[in-house]
Amino acid sequence: MGVAAIIMAGGRGERFWPASRADRPKQFLAFHGGRTLLQQTVDRLAGLVETKNLWIITREDYAHLVYQQVPEVPRSRVLLEPEGRDTAPCIALATLHVARTNPDAVTVVLPADHLVVQEERFREALRAAAELASRGDRLVTLGIRPTRPETAYGYIEIGPPVEASGAYHAYSVRGFTEKPPRERAIAYLQRGGFYWNSGIFVWRVSAILSALREHMPGLMARLEPLARAIGTEQEAEELRRIYPTLPRLSIDYGVMERARNTLMIPADFGWDDLGTWAALERVLPADEDGNVLSGRVLAVDTRGSVVQGHGERLVATFGVSDLVVVDSRDAVLIADKHRVGELKAVVGRMEAEGLRDHLLTAPRSETDRAGQWG
Amino acid sequence: MGVAAIIMAGGRGERFWPASRADRPKQFLAFHGGRTLLQQTVDRLAGLVETKNLWIITREDYAHLVYQQVPEVPRSRVLLEPEGRDTAPCIALATLHVARTNPDAVTVVLPADHLVVQEERFREALRAAAELASRGDRLVTLGIRPTRPETAYGYIEIGPPVEASGAYHAYSVRGFTEKPPRERAIAYLQRGGFYWNSGIFVWRVSAILSALREHMPGLMARLEPLARAIGTEQEAEELRRIYPTLPRLSIDYGVMERARNTLMIPADFGWDDLGTWAALERVLPADEDGNVLSGRVLAVDTRGSVVQGHGERLVATFGVSDLVVVDSRDAVLIADKHRVGELKAVVGRMEAEGLRDHLLTAPRSETDRAGQWG
């Protein structure tokens, strides 16, 4: 069984400003351990997917960042979207490429910007999912066992167990749900049978292509001339012509919710989608006052805060609590920790108030040393 | 009547870190209007004191800042303390210099780092005080009519009115009090007869020298060889030998509390000693959310905060209130507005934790443009 992987690395990550910028989103930043989220995602697949079967799909603008950060992946395996069109077009395009070189592959599709604490358990779960997917025409997704009534994630409701692979059971899927309000999230946790939607999928190339053809025939029809052009001189031109016309739709809406052959494997490997700065509290060690500090930070009488320094600069906090403070070369953010999910509002105000420069990476000055955020 | 002025510009101003630094304290910074507090103090005396009668006393380390900022004051009029010894030695030394050139002068003694809103009323009050002081052997001080139960200022309790100069009355002084707890400050405000101690004094040279000899004979005895050396080749050497041995004492403790010939003139010219960042709220205009913003600041859902940007850098705040945020070239401070009076604690921690570099002015990088704080 050949396992291929498609890493989706085209996200914008605006909620991590000012560390993330329009020209360097979250997946290209290192939050812990020195390696960026994209690099960690590639590292994490070692032993499961051979490098030659690894595909990365990203936006054209980020190509240089992918080339820099994961030079071990040949440029022919880095696919470039002319613009972001959500996950269904992205997965369809990447799968057409995989199909040309490895039509029988089981493919793991996963985002580049998530965090996984227990990497060996992550690979175990994916091995079980790949084994199940290899058995035939089914769409397997990983559901994360919820540990809190999280309102920032979508949930998957499962039905009865259907099959097993080793210690892993696969369940039928009753439905996918939107991010719930808090009371409903609490109810999900109490009732059981609800799992966080990880956005990680495993399927045979043939299974997802046939599901796409069934549930998104318009998308696949538009992609047909592009599919024929792959590997020819017309490929780049066709891609630029066709891609911007594709429907903006997620694979969850477009395929997973409609398909009858979906299975979910419950998994538990210390997963977080790092949706906001506040997520760092859950995944990085805190000091005795509940602060998650990184870089050159002096926190005096400070509680429950996430503070990120930048390079040689000092961030000093005094008498404050429940803040997120993020320094960068040309901007510093000070926000209520409980509202960092709304950070796009700040980015929107910056656009409106002529502060767009600060949405892009600041030019590096000569005496400035590299910060953690690169 | 010749009026001389002694501007005391040797303070440390640690509570304005990170804008102020050990090598560039508060009096050398501009908080509004582009001119530094020292420059504003000199400007404010124009029309009252001729430049040739203007003396500035500062610490040796700050000489270059004084020379730069007020080049109109000849270097011979800039006196340099080898180290800070509080106001009594400072005033005694400066007065000995004034006495050599202008023994009959009435001298205004004032700090370089205070803020005055109504400059013409300030000069009016000083003119009245100088006129009163010229009448004989009395020590005149300005008391500021309190407008709130301030706990960060010392108070002067007055007795009956004694004399008048134009519209200004001079009162006898019952006593000087320390910074009061809040309940006592409220009582002062309710009872009346208590004024804020401005630290601005007016007296004849002969009056203060005789008061110093009476109440601080040890200080004056030690200064005697230095007084004889002024203007000779031995002056600098004697200064360095003697000055560090002088008692550390304020003029309030050393002279004003002990003297029986003190008078106070109530004054009201929009005064603030700018003791902490929170003072800026009282003296600078606020936006509709009660924020005092300066520099490149984007304040979204932010209330009651003082936010100071630095140069081209952006400070973005979101969903926070009652903070003081001050950016600088190499450090940013985020503090509870109600606790900025304790900022020395942070400076102390920086010394303890090997962050002393950030107590000095950061080297300017090539692409860095000058910020408001110079």
Give the pLDDT confidence of A352-367 residue by residue, as tens digits. 999 989 999 887 654 3
pLDDT given for residue A15 in this prediction: 85
- List C-alpha distances in Å: B97 to B6, B77, B92, B132, B222: 10, 9, 9, 23, 16
Q: Which residue of B has its CA nearest to A362?
A: B313
- What is the mean pLDDT of the segment spanning B79-95? 96
Average pLDDT over residues A91-118: 96
Q: How many CB atoms lie within 10 A of CB A123?
A: 18
Q: Global pTM?
A: 0.88
* Residues B296/B299/B305/B310 CA torsion (nearest 10 deg): -20
Strands (E), chain A: 3-8, 54-59, 78-81, 106-111, 115-116, 139-144, 155-165, 168-177, 194-204, 262-267, 271-272, 292-294, 297-300, 306-308, 314-318, 323-327, 331-336
Q: Calculate mean pLDDT across residues B282-286.
A: 89
The angle that helices B87-101 and B205-215 make with each other, rounded to 10 degrees, is 140
**Does residue A121 surpass a pLDDT of 50?**
yes
Query: What residue of B is the nearest CA neighbor of A345?
Result: B300
CA dist., res. A262 & res. A294, Å (int): 41
Q: What is the mean pLDDT of residues A236-256?
A: 95
Q: Residues of B with CB below 8 A from A339's CB?
A: 301, 318-319
In angstroms, rounded to a whole number, what is the distance separating the alpha carbons of residues B269 and B122?
Answer: 6
Task: Name the residue of chain B whose CA is nearest to A317's CA.
Answer: B334
Please determine, for residue A212, whether its predicted confidence score (pLDDT) is greater than 80: yes
Q: Give percent of chain A with pLDDT exceeding 90.
A: 88
- Rounded to 5 degrees, what angle do the CA atoms A293, B317, A330 make? 70
At B135-194, the pLDDT tens digits run 999 999 999 999 999 999 999 999 999 999 999 999 999 999 989 999 999 999 999 999
Tokens 């600098």, residue located: B236
Closest-CA distance of chain B to residue A308, Å? 12
Whether A268 and A282 have beta carbons less than 8 Å apart is answered as no
The pLDDT value recorded for residue A371 is 35
pLDDT category at B374 given cuts 50, 70, 90 is: very low
Tell me the nearest-neighbour CA distance from A370 into chain B, angstroms. 14
Task: Report helix, strand or coil for B14.
Answer: helix
Question: Is A334–B325 a contact, with Cβ atoms under 8 angstroms apart?
Answer: yes
Domains, chain A, in order of start with CATH, read: 3-272 (3.90.550.10), 277-359 (no CATH)
Q: Name the token pair of A365.
A: 């000055």
Q: Is the peptide bond before B74 cis (omega within 30 degrees of 0)?
A: no
CA angle B160, B165, B171 (to 5 degrees): 20
Query: For residue range A323-332, what is the model confidence (pLDDT) as tens digits?
Result: 999 999 999 9
* Helical (H) or strand (E) element with B299: strand B297-300
Q: How many percent of chain A have pLDDT more than 70?
A: 97
**Res B371: pLDDT:** 35
Which pLDDT score, from 0 to 100, does residue A203 have?
Answer: 98
Handedness of CA B188, B190, B191, B193 (dihedral sign): positive
Beta strands in A167-235 (DSSP E): 168-177, 194-204
Residue B313: name the closest of B337, B288, B301, B295 by CA. Answer: B295
Shortest CB distance from A333 goes to which of B316, B333, B365?
B316
- Burial class of residue A119 in the structure, from the number of CB atoms within 10 Å of its CB (0-12 exposed, 13-18 middle, 19+ buried): middle
Average pLDDT over residues B352-365: 84
Average pLDDT over residues A30-50: 93
Which among A318, A363, A367 is the nearest to B335, CB-wise?
A: A318
Q: What is the pLDDT of residue B367?
A: 38
Residues in A lying within 8 Å of B, measured between beta carbons:
18, 296, 298, 300-301, 312-320, 323, 325, 327, 330-336, 338-340, 342-343, 345-346, 349-350, 353, 355, 358, 363, 365-368
Check pLDDT > 90 for residue B31.
Answer: no
Cβ of B355 within 8 Å of Cβ of A298? The answer is yes
Mean per-residue pLDDT for A190-201? 97
Residue from B303, B320, B358 to probe the interface with A (highest A Cβ count within 10 Å): B320
Q: What is the mean pLDDT of residues A27-38?
A: 91
Residue A358 with chain B: CB contacts under 8 Å: 314
In sequence order, what DSSP letters do the residues of B46-75 get, joined into one string?
A: TTTS-GGGEEEEEEGGGHHHHHHH-TTS-G
**Listing from the earlier edge strand, what are the strands of the sheet with A292-294?**
A292-294, A306-308, A323-327, A331-336, B314-318, B297-300
Q: Which of A318, A330, A339 sits opposite B312 (nearest CB)?
A: A330
Are A319 and B336 within 8 A, CB to CB?
A: yes
Contact across the interface for A355 and B298, Cβ inside 8 Å: yes
The answer on pLDDT for A50 being more than 90 is yes
B307: closest CA of chain A, how far (Å): 11
Looking at the predicted structure, is the pLDDT value of residue B344 above 50?
yes
Distances (CA, A) of B337 to A339, B277, B321, B328: 21, 8, 9, 18
Q: What is the mean pLDDT of chain A?
A: 93
Please report, rounded to a whole number, the percentage of residues in chain B having pLDDT higher than 70: 97
Angle at B273 between CA B286 and CA B336, to 5 degrees: 55
CA distance, residue A297 to nearest chain B CA (Å): 10
Stretch B232-241: mean pLDDT: 96
Question: Cα–Cα distances in Å, from A286 out to A271, B105, B321?
Answer: 18, 64, 24
User: If you average pLDDT over every residue of chain B, what do you get?
Assistant: 93
Contact between B266 and B145 (Cβ < 8 Å): yes
**pLDDT (mean) for B48-60:** 96
- What pLDDT is stored for residue B364 in this prediction? 67
Predicted local confidence at residue A213, as pLDDT: 97
- What pLDDT band is residue A334 in, cutting at 50, 70 and 90? very high
Q: How far is A327 from chain B (nearest CA, A)?
A: 8
